[in-house]
Structures are given as structure tokens and as C-alpha cells.
């Protein structure tokens, strides 16, 4: 199945189907990763206020623009509003700070990072404390309706500060609620998606409404910290995947990415290793057969690798927590300082 290099958004702009993920990229490494990615042909960079790396990404992008290697309008930048910035009075202020850090006049796609808001008590500090906690380690959450946050994000589009807005880490009911009530419809949903957790129902839900679907953790996020979810062997160790990769003379990571892309899903592989960054982009020169797609479909475990344990079990009962059923498998987290 042929794969288009970009996905058309509801606003008419195109979003490249392969982006560089930057979560967990250490300060001092992410800038070089962005430089390598842009030189390799990437035109989509995914970040977030919560990653604390927007400034370094902005420096790398500005450098490449000044060198004449890329034009700003050819690079698609996604960033995400911190959960501690979701109060309506904070949304524009936080957006302007992201624009300053990214050294750009506009953001291509701006997402609500998670539907559960966090106290903004430490946001005025430098650097901002985006994850204040109680003594028991649970995050200090607040009770801001994501719809109220959304209304403010719509104003950002009106002002030209943001071109498209979307959501991350929401369930189907939350997405539907925003979609029905929004003046500007969600252009994109970004959620965990990989061969063990393929999200068929959610992907179909988005497709029917013209919402672009992005996958984080598309190769199983082998570097995710223990606080995020269950300890498992790497997804890339699946024998069936190794066999398919060998047949195509590709890496297992490339097979996993291609599988999602053939489903029309935008992929956001993260790496700071130059060879892997380049390899993850070399996914347009082969095709998985229908039989191979079915084999990959057969390894589905409906296994969430990201279970947000760092929120603390008490917050699994928060009215906007998207998956309260995760409380049954909750394992005490280590704190956000581990992320």
C-alpha cells in the first residue's frame, strides 16, 4: 500500500507523516538530534512544554533556517500545553512563552497534553515547576474543564499564533465531547499506538471525523522509565517482527513504523542517535503486504505501556482522568523527577 508523505489536516495544511519525537531527549542532546533530523529530511518536530526542551529545539531550528538548509514554513512544529498551564487565564501566556522558546511566530499544531490539569502554583518559578506534588508523591491536580481550555486555544488560532489545535491522551468520549462543542474542531489526536496497542477503534473514530491520528511510542518506547507502566520485554523482540524485517532487509523499528503509516497514522519515533534518526526516516522505500499487516495485527495485546502511574492512584478518580480502569493495575510510581 502506497503511503503519502503527509496527512491533510482540517485547516488545509499538511502534516508530515514521520516526525521526530523528543520526549526524554536530554538537554544538550536534543538540539543535535533536531539538526541531524532536519539534515536527513525530517520536516516535522514534536515537542511539549513538559519536555523542557523547546528552547534547545528553537535554537537548532533557527540555526538551520539561518544556514539556508530549511525554511521555517517547510518545518511542521507540534508542541503541547503543559497540564499546569490549562487554566483559561494561563493559556495565552504559556503559548507566548513557547513561541519565544521555539523562536517562531506561530506553532503549526498545539495540543492539550493531558485532560487532567495540574496546579499552577510553581509555574512562575524559573525553571517552572510543572509537576507539583503532595507529600505522598501524587501530583497536585486541579479541576479545570478541558473544554474551557479549548475555548482559549481557539482564540490562539484566531490570532494567528497557532495554526491548528488538537488533543493528546484523551479517551473517545472526551474527544467526542470536544469535537461536538468546539467552534474549531480538533485537527489531531496524539496517543500511544503501536503493534501491542494498535488503537483500531480510536483510529477509525478519528478517520470518520477527519481528525489526523498521531502515534507516540510507535516502536514500543524501549527507553521509557519504569514509572510509566508495566515492565515488559521490548516489543521489537517479537519473533514475527524480526522475520518480516529480515525479509525486507529492514530494521524491526522500520517495520513497526511502516505498519502504522500504511494505516494512515502519523508516527513520532524518538531518538538522539544519528544512525537511528536517519534509519527511522527511511521507511518510504518498501511496503508491507496484506499478509504481513495481518501478522502484525495478530500480535496485538491491547497493552498500554503508558499508564500514567506518576499521577498517583488518587488522581485516577479525577473526573477528567481518561482511563480510571488503570487503577486496578496501578503500581506505585517513582516521581516525575525520573522522567
Catalytic residues: 51
The 3-state DSSP class for residue 107 equals strand
Residues 189, 163, 116: CA angle, nearest 5 degrees = 40
Q: Read off the DSSP letter of residue 183.
A: S
Nearest Cα to 54, choosing from 91, 3, 95? 95
Q: Residue 162: CB partners within 8 Å, gap ≥ 6? A: 95, 106, 107, 109, 110, 153, 156
Q: Residue 110: CB partners within 8 Å, gap ≥ 6? A: 78, 79, 80, 81, 95, 153, 156, 162, 164, 165, 166
Residues in the chain: 339
Nearest Cα to 130, choosing from 36, 77, 75, 53? 53
Check if the beta carbon of residue 182 is closer than 8 Å to that of residue 288: no
Q: How far apart are CA 265 and CA 169, in angstroms?
A: 16
Q: How far apart are CA 195 and CA 292, in angstroms?
A: 12
Check if the beta carbon of residue 195 is closer than 8 Å to that of residue 261: no
Q: How far apart are CA 101 and CA 56, in angstroms?
A: 8
Amino acid at each position: 500500500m502506497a503511503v503519502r508523505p503527509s496527512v491533510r489536516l482540517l485547516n488545509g495544511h499538511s502534516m508530515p507523516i514521520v516526525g521526530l519525537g523528543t520526549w526524554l531527549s536530554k538537554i544538550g542532546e536534543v538540539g543535535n538530534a533536531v539538526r541531524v533530523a532536519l539534515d536527513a529530511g525530517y520536516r516535522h518536530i514534536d515537542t511539549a512544554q513538559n519536555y523542557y526542551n523547546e528552547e534547545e529545539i528553537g535554537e537548532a531550528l533557527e540555526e538551520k533556517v539561518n544556514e539556508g538548509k530549511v525554511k521555517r514554513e517547510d518545518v511542521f512544529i507540534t508542541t503541547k500545553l503543559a497540564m499546569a498551564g490549562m487554566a483559561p487565564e494561563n493559556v495565552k501566556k504559556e503559548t507566548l512563552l513557547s513561541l519565544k522558546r521555539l523562536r517562531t511566530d506561530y506553532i503549526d499544531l498545539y495540543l492539550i497534553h493531558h485532560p487532567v490539569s495540574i496546579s499552577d502554583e510553581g509555574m512562575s518559578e524559573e525553571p517552572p515547576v510543572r509537576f507539583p506534588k503532595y507529600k505522598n508523591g501524587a501530583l497536585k491536580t486541579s479541576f479545570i474543564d478541558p473544554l474551557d481550555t479549548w475555548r482559549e486555544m481557539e482564540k490562539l488560532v484566531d490570532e494567528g499564533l497557532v495554526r491548528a489545535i488538537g488533543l493528546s491522551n484523551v479517551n473517545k468520549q472526551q474527544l467526542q465531547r470536544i469535537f461536538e462543542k468546539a467552534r474549531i474542531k480538533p485537527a489531531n489526536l496524539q496517543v500511544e499506538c503501536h503493534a501491542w496497542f494498535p488503537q483500531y477503534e480510536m483510529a477509525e473514530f478519528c478517520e470518520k471525523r477527519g481528525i489526523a491520528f498521531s502515534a507516540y511510542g510507535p516502536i514500543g518506547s524501549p527507553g521509557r522509565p519504569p514509572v510509566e507502566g508495566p515492565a515488559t520485554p521490548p516489543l521489537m523482540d517479537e519473533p514475527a517482527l524480526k522475520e518480516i524485517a529480515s525479509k525486507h532487509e529492514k530494521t524491526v523499528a522500520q517495520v513497526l513504523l511502516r505498519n502504522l503509516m500504511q494505516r494512515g497514522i502519523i508516527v513520532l519515533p524518538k531518538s538522539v542517535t544519528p544512525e537511528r534518526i536517519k534509519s527511522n526516516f527511511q521507511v518510504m522505500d518498501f511496503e508491507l503486504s496484506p499478509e504481513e499487516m495481518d501478522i502484525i495485527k495478530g500480535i496485538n495485546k491491547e497493552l498500554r505501556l503508558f499508564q500514567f502511574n506518576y499521577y498517583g492512584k488518587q488522581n485516577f478518580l479525577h473526573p477528567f482522568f481518561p482511563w480510571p480502569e488503570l487503577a486496578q493495575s496501578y503500581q506505585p510510581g517513582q516521581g516525575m523527577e525520573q522522567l
